[in-house]
Structure 1
Amino acid sequence: MAEPKHQIRALHTDSTVTVYQAYAPHIGLPAAREGRFPAAWKRDRMTWIKPSFLWMMYRCGWGTKEGQETVLAVEISREGFEWALENACLSHYERGLHADQAAWKRQLKRSPARVQWDPERDLRLQPLPHRSLQLGLAGEAARLYADEWTVSITDVTPLARAVHAHVRDGDLDAARQLLPRERPYPVEGHHLMASWKSDCQ
């Protein structure tokens, strides 16, 4: 069966969900070593978390892009993740969903989180028909993410390199075996689902 166009897929347990980010080593390595973000991590800036490993690989070029050489798997509480979803606004104005652009801008300004959908990627980082969630966190949400929601931080740069090596060798089956086991995240019935389905059509 075809994947739904808008669906959160993530590695998750009963209590946590794993998201991915990539940083320069001076941020990423201490974060992984200490299991929390260092003081150098700017808590007053928007940060984007991605539940999709392959979308993160597309964004950071398998950990080769400048400033994104350290790929982190950040395990956060499901309560925190769902709080962010509950308090999120779509990243783009959507006619018919918002009363007008001014109303959307007001909502965007007061919302600590933003929902954005981008084409999911395959192992060759080519776009797929269905979308992958990005969740932007700012203000209160960014501080809660860094200091309260985070359960563990793991440096998965070696995993990114291993998967990429198999892709370069043309062994996609071996690459696929290494991927995190992402599965649909249970948010059916969530009040934002109708909004998400309108985004990025």
Structure 2
Amino acid sequence: MNYSIRADYNKKSIVVYQAFREQIAVPALREQKFVNPFSFQRMTWIKPSFLWLMARSNWSQKKGQEYILAVRISLEGWEKALKKGVLTTPQPSIYGSYDNWQEHFSQAQVHIQWDPERNIYGKKSDLRSIQVGISRFLSPEYVNEWVYSIEDYSSLARKIYGFLQKGYVDKAKKLLPKEKPYPLCKKQHRKLIPKN
């Protein structure tokens, strides 16, 4: 099984995707930050894979996920999240005992989960894609310090989906955000990548 972070990033920032209902998305777009009714008391999940979120939100058509937001955050913040991350499943190769993992997990400010990556048709692949859960203890920092900009990708998602529905796969693929492998240092790799 292959584990890989693919993302739209540069030397200073990285794009992560989130899907929200209108009541949260519209104020966030207007203010260029998450504001009420965005909840700081819940885990907020960020995903650098556009296609994974498209499968999850059914191309922005699922109830409560009609708005696809491309959130550009600082690379420093992203790296901090990875550094603080604890996997959502116990991995003996990383944590040793179950009890040791449970202790780390219960205190974690960030949860890391690997899910099957999706292709443009929504089918699962052998590649595992990362999800990063920002806990309520770190949410204020995510919102107030990491976020550079918030863009509405909802129309883009629906346009790509429309091309797919008509069988224009090549046109659909050309509109996908450009993602490339994101490198992990050796320490991050040992901490975040389960051994098969």
CA contact (8 A) 2:73 2:149 kept: yes
1:103 Cα deviation from its structure 2 partner: 1.1
1:171 to 168, 173, 179: 168
Superposed CA offset, 1:31-75 (max 9, x none) = 112211012111121011000000010111111111111110000
| Corresponding position of 2:179 | 182
| Corresponding position of 2:14 | 17
CA contact (8 A) 1:32 1:153 kept: yes
1:187 Cα deviation from its structure 2 partner: 1.9
Q: Following the alignment from structure 1 to structure 2, what is the Cα–Cα distance between the partners of residues 133 and 97? A: 17
| Corresponding position of 1:156 | 153
Q: Structure 1-normalised TM-score?
A: 0.93
| Corresponding position of 1:198 | 194
Q: Following the alignment from structure 1 to structure 2, what is the Cα–Cα distance between the partners of residues 143 and 56? A: 23
CA-based RMSD of the aligned residues comes to 1.3
Which amino acid in 2 is paired with 1:193?
H
Matches within 5 A, 1:26-175: 26-175=23-172
Which amino acid in 2 is paired with 1:173?
D
Q: Following the alignment from structure 1 to structure 2, what is the Cα–Cα distance between the partners of residues 18 and 96? A: 30
Which amino acid in 2 is paired with 1:27?
I
| Corresponding position of 1:8 | 5
1:95 Cα deviation from its structure 2 partner: 2.4
Tell me how many residue pairs correspond in the alignment: 196
Q: Following the alignment from structure 2 to structure 1, what is the Cα–Cα distance between the partners of residues 49 and 30? A: 23
SS at match of 1:193: helix
1:147 Cα deviation from its structure 2 partner: 1.4
Q: Following the alignment from structure 1 to structure 2, what is the Cα–Cα distance between the partners of residues 196 and 5? A: 13
Q: Structure 2-normalised TM-score?
A: 0.95
Task: Report the identity percentage.
Answer: 37
1:82 Cα deviation from its structure 2 partner: 0.2
Structure 2 spans left out of the alignment, 5+ residues: none
